Amino acid sequence: MRALFFGPPGSGKGTQAARLSARRTLPHVSSGDLLRAAARSGSAIGLRAKGFMDRGELVPDALVLELLFDRLAAADCGAGFLLDGFPRTEAQAGALEGRLGRGERAALDRALRFLLADEAVLERMSGRRSCKGCGTPFHVSFRPPKVEGRCDRCGGELLRRPDDAPEVVRERLAVHRRDEAGLVEFYRRRSVLREVEASGSVEEVAGRVELLLEGA
């Protein structure tokens, strides 16, 4: 199975991709993880990516695609893979199709779109906190600490990442909604688009995902 999970930030697509990867023994290929690993590696391509990331800029499509294609060429991706976070636009999807297309068949068996209202995204992301000391994650609504602002594990200070601030989340959502429209139509034309309601528990969403991927 070759599948893409896409949707707004905070919709749980990465969590679901990781769960499905473990269940089906398929590589979970996250563009974010690829970029961070490349930046840590010190390789020529990694240093190029790190330069953009350090400046807070988007890494150019050509660079991300180069990393992605290298990863998908690995032996463990031969039987399939789960893409998470890329492609994000119709142009990126077209580049992926050009490299991975299989004649009359689409490059992917499923493109699973996670649906979550903007206000729900805002609540999920703006409420996230992590411990400055040990990195343990919390959420002010869904996983609150026993003592406000302090880690249950080590007592460290809980911080919110700058990109989880409400104004930043709204900006990221606006960009996502703009770019997503073309991606949706791209995969709808190829008859591989499926949509999953991303509200509810992790287990509830996982059940919906499994149903939509049957036969892929």
Please provide the DSSP assignment of 106-174 as one string: -S-SEEEEEE--HHHHHHHHHTEEEETTT--EEETTTB--SBTTB-TTT-PBEE--GGGSHHHHHHHHH
Angle between the N-to-C axes of helices 31-41 and 44-54, in degrees from 0 to 180, rounded to the nearest 10: 110
Which residues does the annotation mark as catalytic? Answer: 13, 88, 128, 161, 172
Q: What structural domains and CATH numbers belong to the chain?
A: 2-27+74-213 (3.40.50.300)
- pTM of the model as a whole: 0.87
pLDDT digits (tens), the chain, 216 positions: 999 999 998 999 999 999 999 999 999 999 888 988 888 888 888 888 888 888 877 788 889 999 999 899 999 999 999 999 899 999 999 999 998 877 667 789 999 999 999 999 999 999 999 999 999 999 999 999 999 999 999 999 999 988 899 999 999 899 899 999 999 999 999 999 999 999 999 999 999 999 999 876
Nearest to 81 by CA among 3, 192, 193, 194: 3
Whether 24 and 77 have beta carbons less than 8 Å apart is answered as no
